[in-house]
Amino acid sequence: MTADVQKRWQLSSRFPIFRGKLPRRSRFGAIEAVQRGVDFPSLFTSSHTDPHCEPGQLLLILVTSAPGNSEPRQVIRRTWAAHEGPRAHQWQSMFLVGQSADIGVAQGIQREQQEFGDILIGNYQDTYRNLTLKVMHGFKWVAERCRPSYILKTDDDCFVNTDRLPEFLLEHNTIKTGLYAGSLFSREKRQVIREPSSKWYVSRQDYHLDEYPPYASGIGYILSLDAVERILWAAEHVHPIPVEDAYVGILAERAGIQVKSSARFAKHNVRWRVCNYRYLMVIHHLSPQEQEVAKGSMLQARSACHDTWQAPPLLNCRREWQNATPSKSWHPRRLPRSPKWKCRPCL
């Protein structure tokens, strides 16, 4: 990994990255002998109007959403998905939704799609265990119909920095092919859960190893188009599991794609200061009200903060705080004001 790539994406070498492919038979042969990969034709339905996309755009953002989450979708449309800024014509967002057993909700989705034209409806029941099918459906549709240079997958409780991400991809990103980056999990958190009562339960028949390969959190990860195509190829041969982000990591490993850990994807919302909105690309766990606040911070950061692509002061302070006193949990209000902290306060 070059120093230039490490600097631009703020990549971390904290997690070990698998290099090379394992022998197919030793890892996947037993599964492939009795089980098939994703049945892509079954995910598509002809009874719904497909969303519109402009072929060849720079970025397409896929947002997983439950049928009943109309309020989060509306808030996203008027916050970070509103086409504002100098590169607004180079990207678009799209919601991924499955089938609802509630007739009223299903009809509401149809009306919403007719009004906004930004919902891709799949032919599967919309459940958490079917999230993998939802994402695979979105990848397949985008790769065949839209073919953007990059695809960002995220959720409807996440904030995407659309003021910075398109510019970063166009002018500062040096990884043009084979890109798969996001916030990685530690090895301890990649253990396969075998407890049937857990929503992340995966049986040994579906995945026989005890640990997933390195993968990016489903809160948000970025893929180049060629990486999506290679992942789709692998999905035709690897049986899906009901843990979407782990499955993408399995497919990436099978396709020979190395996942990269980037500090620009935040798993938690800790009320970031304004200048962090010149650095972070995805922030997780925002309520509809917090989405509005985040957009205001994103716009304020345009003029209030120095235009740098490096980590702003608060993130630097956070790392120093954790390294200095690892036994204490970090909170922005606990940052010391002592001169020994070599970082300026950010707005």
How far apart CA 105 and CA 262 sit, in angstroms, is: 37
Q: H-helix or E-strand containing 288?
A: helix 288-304
Query: Using one digit for the tens of pLDDT, what is the confidence trace for 39-54?
Result: 999 999 887 788 989 8
Task: Supply the pLDDT for residue 252.
Answer: 98
Helix, strand, or coil (residue 184): strand
How far apart CA 14 and CA 265 sit, in angstroms, is: 15
Q: H-helix or E-strand containing 153?
A: strand 150-155
The answer on pLDDT for 35 being more than 90 is: no
Task: Supply the pLDDT for residue 303.
Answer: 85
Confidence label for 339 from pLDDT (cuts 50, 70 and 90):
very low
How far apart CA 335 and CA 341 sit, in angstroms, is: 9
Interval 182-200 mean pLDDT: 95
Domains and CATH numbers, the chain: 3-266 (3.90.550)
The reply to whether the predicted model has a pTM over 0.85 is no
Range of lowest pLDDT (52-56, 65-69, 204-208): 52-56
Task: Supply the pLDDT for residue 86.
Answer: 66
How far apart CA 243 and CA 198 sit, in angstroms, is: 11
Confidence label for 275 from pLDDT (cuts 50, 70 and 90):
confident
Q: Which residue reads 């009901």 in tokens?
A: 242
Residue partners of 20: CB distance under 8 A and separation at least 6: 256
Residue partners of 307: CB distance under 8 A and separation at least 6: 278
How far apart CA 276 and CA 88 sit, in angstroms, is: 21
Count of beta carbons in the 10 Å neighbourhood of residue 133: 26
Task: Supply the pLDDT for residue 18.
Answer: 30
Closest among 250, 11, 267, 307 to 159, alpha carbons compared: 267
Closest among 154, 132, 139 to 250, alpha carbons compared: 132
The answer on pLDDT for 323 being more than 60 is: no
Distance of CA 193 to the CA centre of its chain: 22
Interval 6-18 mean pLDDT: 43
The answer on pLDDT for 138 being more than 70 is: yes
Task: For residue 23, give both structure tokens.
Answer: 């022998």
Max distance between CA atoms of the chain, in angstroms, equals: 64
Confidence label for 136 from pLDDT (cuts 50, 70 and 90):
very high
Phi and psi based region of residue 285 (left: phi greater than 0; alpha: psi -120 to 50; beta: remaining): left
